[in-house]
Structures are given as C-alpha cells and as structure tokens.
Structure 1
Amino acid sequence: MSMEKKPRVVMARRMLSLTATTATVALTATAPAADAGIWRETSSIVLHQASATTATSSKIEGEGEGTTQAESEGEGAGTHAKGEGEGEGDAHAEGEGEGEGEADAHAEGEGEGEGEADAHAEGEGEGSSSGEGEGAGSGDSGQALQRDLSFMEGHLRAGLALYEAGDLAAAKTHMGHPIEEKYGAVADPLAERGLDRLRGQISAIAAATEAEAPAAEITAAFDAARATIEEAREGLSNKDQILGLAQLVRVAGEEYAVAVEGGSISNLHEYQDSWGFLRVVEDELRQIAETGDGAARHVAEEALEYLAETDAAFGDIQGQGEMTLDPSLLFGAAARIELEALELG
C-alpha cells in the first residue's frame, strides 16, 4: 500500500476564468466556413464549461447535447441517468429540463437531451452504469469512439502505474472500471469491427490484477488490450481522433475539478483518473504528429503544446509533488485543442 503524504501544493494566484480564456481563443482564431455550425456549437460548449471549472452543472433549459440525470424513472436510449432521458444527452436538471449544447442540468423529473450523452438511469433506461458519454449511440461517431476507447485505456494506464508503484488496492479499482463504466458504449462499434475480444482482454487484466500476478504479466495483458484499441482506431479520421481526444481532456478536467474540491487533493481516485486520461491523450497526439499528413501533424503538434500546459496541475500518480490546483488549465487545453482540430478537413 502506498504511504499517505500531504502533497506540496502551490495554489493558483487566481483561478483562471475559462470564459476569458476562450474569448481570447475565439478572437485569435477564424472558423472555416464549412465548420461554421460546429464553431457556434463549440463556442457554446466551451463557454459553458469555462464557467464551470469546479465541474458543477448549471440549471438551464435548452435542447441539444448534454447529460440527463433525472431522479425519476429512466427511459433513455444509451443513458445512465436517474431519470427519463432521451438521446445522448448531458442534462442534469431540476424539474423538466431540456439541455442545449453540452450543457449540464440536474433534473428531478423528466430530462430530455439530444446529443452525446451520459445518462444514469434507474428505471427503464438502456445503457450502462456510470462514466462519461455512455449509452446507446455514444459510440456511433468516430469522435465518441475515440473518446470512449481512450477513456478505458486511461483507466488501465492509471491502474498499471499504481500496480507498478505497489498500490495494489488502488490498481484493482482502476482496472475494473473500463468494463463497469464504459464498455457498453463501445460494444456495438467494436462488434461491427470484429474486435469484441477487447472485453475479454480487459477482463483478463482485471482478473490478473485481483490475483496480484507479477507486474510483467499485467503489462503483457495491457499491451494486448492496447493493440486491439489501436486497431479499433484505424479508419478514424485524424480530425475525429483529435476532437475525441479534446473531449477526453474535458472529461479529465471535470474529474480533476472534483479531485481538488476544497483547495486540496480531496479525491485521489478522480485525480488518478484525470492523470491516466491525459497520458493517453499525449501518446495519441504524438502518434498523429509522427504519422499524420502535413495538416494533421501541425494540429497535433499544436495540441501537444496546449496539453503541456496541464503539467503544472499534476505531481505523480499518488498526488505527490509541487502542483497548481487549477482545473481551468485542463479546460483551457481542451478548448484550444478542439479549435485547432476544427481546422482539419
């Protein structure tokens, strides 16, 4: 088991306002005409999340992408919300909420949302237990598939690092989460590609970790699962891959905000999730920077520079070391990577 130490923390002199950050980005970038609709939607998403660096949801009304979390009967394709949610949505609303964009509404009652979603449903909902972007349909697009595959890989990366560090209890928890939280979102796309073996491969990693097998055996099992994940990424456009990675950086920001609530690392597990997600994003961006075409290489290189700005928010896997506890570092990187990726055809 790991020794508990208080991390040396350097608090940000002031929490950056993502609203100001993204406004600067918007002023310095020009949206291609072909992506005007996406640009407007992205701006809405970014501005919403900029004002929520603590990953708390706003109570809004609208219609579009979001997570529905209603505490009522859940009836939603691909939702894991307590409530009634239709579509791929992220709406957590009180009352009757329809969320527009990737807005969060917390609902006790009925919530309706179209888009990529996360619905935790107790009731008649189809979908899985928990996690970001789960549910039927969330894995249908290239961006969502990249995000969800990388989400699972990020948990495995964190678990492997913890196992190698000797924190077996924490490693076991992380290794179990890909199947528990996310596999339902990618099951159909993987089956269509003949890659449903991934479920068994991830389950084998979790079983070996529970049995406290030698680290070399865990690493070999991880490498086999990662090879399947890489095969699943084949055929995805560079644009979809990078946009999916930007979405995962945003998820990492949400989990990081929970981890540092109260001005200290109060939830080490969420910190480790965020750490693992960003390691996968970095590896994937480097791969695109090395193998993509000219435009994709340029965007990936720019994205890596933005991602590097998040390093200040982290110490090691156990939350030790000097760090600036500022979720806006992650949200800002997500926004900039997304805007860069929109330049790709």
Structure 2
Amino acid sequence: MVKKSMSKKRFEKRKVWAGVGTALLATSAATATAEQSDTDTYTALSSSVFSYSAMSLGEGGETGGEGGEGEGEGEGATKADLSSDNAAYLARLGLIRGHLWVGLKLYREGHLAMAKTHMKHPEDELYAGLEPVFEARGVNGFGQELSDLADAVNNEQGDEAVELAYSKLLGAITASESMAKMTAKEALLSISQMIRTAADEYAIGVKKGEIVNVHEYQDAYGFTEIAIERLERLSDEQKAQAQSDIDNAKTILVKLRTLWPTVNPEGDVEGEASHLYGAAARIELSALN
C-alpha cells in the first residue's frame, strides 16, 4: 500500500509538470519582457523553466526522496552530493525546518493530531542518510534533538516541553547549516529548490481551489515560510554579495503568502501551484546570473 501511494504521488507530480511547463514559460516570458526584454535573458529563462520540468520527471538521485513521503520533496534528479553541494544540503535542511515549523504552528493553534504528522524522527527518510553527510562536513547533526521534539509532541508532554525541545532543535539545525560559510548564490539556489518542492506539494494538496490533501498544503506553507526566514538570516556580508537579488527574492516570496489564508483552512482557497513554480524559476535564474 505504501509503494502504491508513493507511485500515485509521483504520477500526480508528473501530471502537474506536464501541464505547467507552457504556463510557466508564458508567465516567466512576460516577466522577462517587463523587466529585461533582451533575447539572451528570454532564452535563459526558457531554459531554466524546462530544466525544472526535466528534473521533476526524474526518479530521484543522490538527493533521494523527500524523506518519509517517497519520491517527493527534495527529489531533484540532479544526483547532488549533499556532502559537497551546499545549495542541495541547505535545501534538505530547509525542508526539515519547514515540516517542523508548520508542525509547531499547528500545535500552538491547538491542532494536535495534525501537528503530530509533521514531526519528524531521525529514522524518517528526510533525515536518514544525513549522518555521513554531517560527518563529511564536520558538524554534529541533530538526530537526538529531532527525536526529543517528536517525543514531546507525540507523547503530549505539554507546551513548556515542546517549546524547549523546538528551541534546542533549531539551535542544532542552525549549527549544522553553517550558514556563515555559504555564499548568497548558494542560499538563493537552496531557496529556489525549496520553493519548487513547495510547488509540488501545493499542486498535490490543492485542486482548482479545493483542499484535497491538507498535509501537502501545509508542507508547502512551511517550506515557503522557512525560505523567507532564511533570507532574513543572511549576514550583512552575504547580503552585500547580492543585495538586489535577495531583496527581489523576498518580495516574490512574501507575495506567495496569500496562497495560505490559514494553516488549516475550511472551504476553498484561491491559489495555484503555478505561482510557486514561477517564483522558483525566477529566483534560480537570478542566482545563476
């Protein structure tokens, strides 16, 4: 049953990408015309859009599946080595942060059952396999802290225990990210990857305005909020490397917040995954240029 579910999810994402390519190209082309109408920019943007489509149709790679949910989040068929590819590494940790962020938000708002579904254990695929990566990078990882938070929520240990565990976990993730060693380009590329994954999840969670999978809708919310938060955590030195690109990326991402009127919506929502796909492509192009 699990394999069948994962196959269905992968098939759904392929259907989304099959239809989104043309729409995304049109949207991106319009943006390019408005902001930079030269032929080179248009060509680069077109290439970026279709490279995203090709990546999404892959079967995974060394970056693996999202973790815990099969060939989904973080799949990118680029076979990135997380021990050396800083953007892919930051994207993976960003996805973990996103799950935890939305889980805690749900917990704080009283949606305990939903919160539990977003709390990750070290055994989950999203974290599994990272230990050798942490060793190669000379960082400690955060397996114990991840387990402590999941236990605090799942065993209903109370608000104080949950908040303390979350705070300690964020500190451990921050130490493992080593953001000070990263370039602005790497941070922007990681954000682009996270938003593409958010788009995948939103496309599965929302169909013509109807919430058909609230968990995926919530995942997309968490990934996007963490992408914004990552921009805000960049150092002055990193910001100086690409201030305008960073400012532009933040403007793009903040506008996406309208896709999530609430973390647990009742009724339909006004939102389409194409906005997320377009944002991911524009941020990637900006970083690469």
TM-score, structure 2 as length reference: 0.78
In the alignment, the residues of structure 1 paired with residue 274 and residue 211 of structure 2 have an alpha-carbon distance, to the nearest angstrom, of: 15
Match of 1:63 in 2: none
Mind listing any 5+ residue stretches in structure 2 that lack a counterpart? 1-19
2:74 to 107, 130, 133: 133
> Contact between 1:271 and 1:319, CA under 8 Å: does it hold in 2?
no
Bigger proportion of residues as helix: 2
In the alignment, the residues of structure 1 paired with residue 69 and residue 261 of structure 2 have an alpha-carbon distance, to the nearest angstrom, of: 30
Structure 1 residue 283, shift from structure 2 partner: 0.5
- Does 1:329 pair with 2:245? no
> Contact between 1:309 and 1:329, CA under 8 Å: does it hold in 2?
no
Change (3 A) 1:207 1:176: same
Change (3 A) 1:117 1:231: closer
- Does 1:47 pair with 2:53? no
Structure 1 residue 287, shift from structure 2 partner: 1.8
Letter aligned with residue 168 of structure 2: A
Q: What secondary structure, in the 3-state scheme, does the structure 2 residue paired with 1:318 have? A: coil
Structure 1 residue 229, shift from structure 2 partner: 1.8
In the alignment, the residues of structure 2 paired with residue 220 and residue 296 of structure 1 have an alpha-carbon distance, to the nearest angstrom, of: 35
Match of 2:256 in 1: 310
Q: What secondary structure, in the 3-state scheme, does the structure 1 residue paired with 2:209 have? A: coil
2:186 to 224, 228, 240: 240
Change (3 A) 1:305 1:119: closer
Match of 2:55 in 1: 102
> Contact between 1:255 and 1:271, CA under 8 Å: does it hold in 2?
yes
Letter aligned with residue 55 of structure 2: E
Change (3 A) 1:102 1:204: same
Q: What secondary structure, in the 3-state scheme, does the structure 1 residue paired with 2:57 have? A: strand
In the alignment, the residues of structure 1 paired with residue 28 and residue 130 of structure 2 have an alpha-carbon distance, to the nearest angstrom, of: 31
CA offset digits 1:48-102 (Å, max 9, x no partner): 657xxxxxxxxxxxxxxxxxxxxxxxxxxxxxxxxxxxxxxxxxxxxxxxxxx41
In the alignment, the residues of structure 2 paired with residue 179 and residue 43 of structure 1 have an alpha-carbon distance, to the nearest angstrom, of: 39
Alignment of 1:189-228 (within 5 A): 189-228=133-172
> Contact between 1:18 and 1:49, CA under 8 Å: does it hold in 2?
no
In the alignment, the residues of structure 2 paired with residue 49 and residue 138 of structure 1 have an alpha-carbon distance, to the nearest angstrom, of: 18
Letter aligned with residue 50 of structure 2: L
Sequence identity percentage: 31
CA offset digits 1:235-285 (Å, max 9, x no partner): 222211110111100100110010012530111100110111111101111
> Contact between 1:205 and 1:222, CA under 8 Å: does it hold in 2?
yes
Letter aligned with residue 47 of structure 1: F
Change (3 A) 1:306 1:211: same
> Contact between 1:148 and 1:186, CA under 8 Å: does it hold in 2?
no
1:166 to 110, 127, 130: 110
Q: What secondary structure, in the 3-state scheme, does the structure 1 residue paired with 2:212 have? A: coil
CA offset digits 1:158-177 (Å, max 9, x no partner): 11011111111111110036
Alignment of 1:1-345 (within 5 A): 17-27=23-33, 28-29=35-36, 43-47=46-50, 101-104=54-57, 117-118=63-64, 130=70, 131-133=72-74, 137-140=80-83, 141-176=85-120, 179-234=123-178, 235-288=181-234, 292-320=238-266, 323-343=269-289
Q: What secondary structure, in the 3-state scheme, does the structure 1 residue paired with 2:270 have? A: coil
Structure 1 residue 187, shift from structure 2 partner: 2.5
Q: What secondary structure, in the 3-state scheme, does the structure 1 residue paired with 2:74 have? A: coil
Q: What secondary structure, in the 3-state scheme, does the structure 2 residue paired with 1:206 have? A: helix
In the alignment, the residues of structure 2 paired with residue 159 and residue 285 of structure 1 have an alpha-carbon distance, to the nearest angstrom, of: 21
> Contact between 1:253 and 1:327, CA under 8 Å: does it hold in 2?
yes
Comparing 152-161 and 178-187, the one that deviates more: 178-187
Change (3 A) 1:164 1:153: same
Question: What's the RMSD between the two structures over aligned residues?
Answer: 3.3
> Contact between 2:122 and 2:144, CA under 8 Å: does it hold in 1?
no
Letter aligned with residue 333 of structure 1: A
In the alignment, the residues of structure 2 paired with residue 102 and residue 153 of structure 1 have an alpha-carbon distance, to the nearest angstrom, of: 23
> Contact between 2:141 and 2:173, CA under 8 Å: does it hold in 1?
no
